[in-house]
Amino acid sequence: MKKLAFIWSVLAAPALFAWGEAEQASCEKMAARVAQGFEDMLRYEERHISFFNYKGKDLWQIEVPALMKEVARTGNVNLISNGGFCALQVACYYADVELVRLLLENGAEVNARPMGWQGYGFPGDTPLALCVRGMTPETADARVQIARMLMEKGANPDADMMHWVWGGSAPVTPFCYLSAAPCNNAMRLALLQGGKQDIRTRARTWELNWAAFSPAVIRTLLEGGISPNRSVGQYGETLLLHLVRSGELELLKLALEKGAQTEESRLLKQHFGGYLFAIPVAESDSADTAVQMAQQLVQSKVSLKGQFGGKSLYGYYSRINTPAAQALARFFSSKDIRR
């Protein structure tokens, strides 16, 4: 009966705003897309959302298209469907840049949450959260553009969304929800650059996976006041180790300036041989960068006396026949490292 009542309201409600043909066509196009794309979205749900079931046949093939048709007819951008959704949430989930722009220009509520979902144990996603939840490599650029548009209009980049994991669920921010996929780094950067609070305050409870972040994201976090010593992995992985292994010389300097600890844990030495053994020395790696990284670490009191696999620093690098390794062997030889 509720669905019939909603459809009747779609047919009977009077037009509320002046609404051009182009705007009507944009909403009608989304209505058709939702109705026809249900199977694709269902497969997406199985891959990425698991138990988090926003979608069902009645909601996403009947109710949401009807909502979009009513928005097209009336121009009322803040209409709510029986399931609690508004047009902006739908447009963000489907990454429709032009429709999002149209809705925002006409006063859509940027921090709206689906109504009536509290009984499921979570408040439902904002438009920005739905934009982030749908991230794929194919839609990443559009979603980043949408996220920036939303935040310019006042969307909260840290509004909780639900992350379903094995055995339960927990609220997380959109930044922490994003996986380690490389396509997500542009969205991470956009989220960091949005918001009204400083990054240090916002990230107080975040879990940081440094190895998943691009150099631009790491720089933004460090310059925003995040300690380079946060979130050490179970085998001694630190931000400093990640930067050394990645050959990120300038970020290494920045992390040391920000107080990165150079004392090597037992686990670090056991699994990676210490920071000075982690400098990349493949054929394509720069010899000059390798030596500069070693110099930075030595100046920061990283021990030269370590061994890895029974070899000293000189012995380790002298056996690798690449320009970077041979340059390091000469550098450590100049420091009187035992051969």
Q: How confident is the prediction for the chain on average, in pLDDT? A: 83
Instruction: Tell whether 128 and 232 lie within a shared domain.
Output: no
Instruction: Report pLDDT digits (tens) over 120-138.
Output: 555 678 999 989 988 889 9
For residue 282, what are the contacts with CB-CB under 8 A and spacing of at least 6? 322, 324
pLDDT of amino acid 91: 92
| Integer Cα distance of 35 and 38 in angstroms | 6
**Is the same domain home to 133 and 240?**
no
Residue 50 in tokens: 């698991």
Has residue 192 been placed in a domain? no
Are 37 and 144 contained in the same domain? Answer: yes
Q: Please say if the pLDDT value at position 270 is more than 60.
A: yes
Least confident of 47-61, 83-97, 146-160: 47-61
pTM of the model: 0.84
Are residue 14 and residue 130 in the same domain, yes or no?
Answer: yes
pLDDT the model gives residue 121? 53
Closest by CA to 71, choosing from 7, 15, 151, is 15
Would you say residue 99 lies in a domain? yes
Least confident of 83-87, 100-104, 144-148, 249-253: 83-87
Retrieve residue 331's tokens. Answer: 């550098």
- What's the pLDDT score for residue 280? 97
Distance CA 150, CA 173 (A): 16
Residue 215 has pLDDT above 50, yes or no: yes
Range with the poorest average pLDDT among 6-15, 244-253, 258-267, 304-313: 6-15
Provide the β-strand partners of residue 163.
170
Cα 143 from Cα 18, distance rounded (Å): 28
- Report the alpha-carbon distance of residue 290 to residue 323 in Å, rounded: 10
Note the pLDDT of residue 231: 79
In a domain, 292, yes or no: yes
Query: What is the band of 242 on the pLDDT scale with cuts at 50, 70, 90?
Result: very high
In a domain, 256, yes or no: yes
Confidence (pLDDT) at 285:
97
- Quote the percentage of the chain above a pLDDT of 70: 79
| Strand (E) or helix (H) holding 170 | strand 168-172
Lowest mean pLDDT across 5-14, 228-237, 275-284, 307-316: 5-14
DSSP helix/strand/coil, 311:
strand
Residue 255: give its domain's CATH number: 1.25.40.20
**pLDDT on residue 49:** 40
Residues 236 and 150 grouped into a single domain: no
Q: Mean pLDDT throughout 210-220?
A: 95
The Cα–Cα gap between 275 and 302 comes to 8
Per residue in 32-67, pLDDT tens? 887 775 444 444 443 344 334 455 556 667 788 888
Alpha helices (H) along 153-238: 174-177, 185-193, 199-202, 215-223
Q: Report how far residue 310's alpha carbon sits from residue 141's, in angstroms, rounded to the nearest whole number.
A: 48
Q: How many domains does the chain have?
A: 2
- Is 193 part of any domain? no
Burial 219-232 (b: 16+ CB within 10 A, else e): bbbbeeebbbeeeb
Least confident segment among 192-196, 221-225, 233-237, 240-244: 233-237
> Are 192 and 225 within 8 A, CB to CB?
no
Residue 272 lies in a domain: yes
- Average of pLDDT values for 103-111? 94
Together in a domain, 146 and 10: yes
**Structural domain of 103:** 1-113+124-156
Residues 28 and 146 in one domain: yes
Q: Is residue 146 part of a domain?
A: yes
CB contact at 8 A, 146 and 95: yes
Mean pLDDT score, 292-311: 91
Q: Decide if pLDDT at 9 tops 60.
A: no
Domain contains 196: no
Mean pLDDT of 309-316: 91
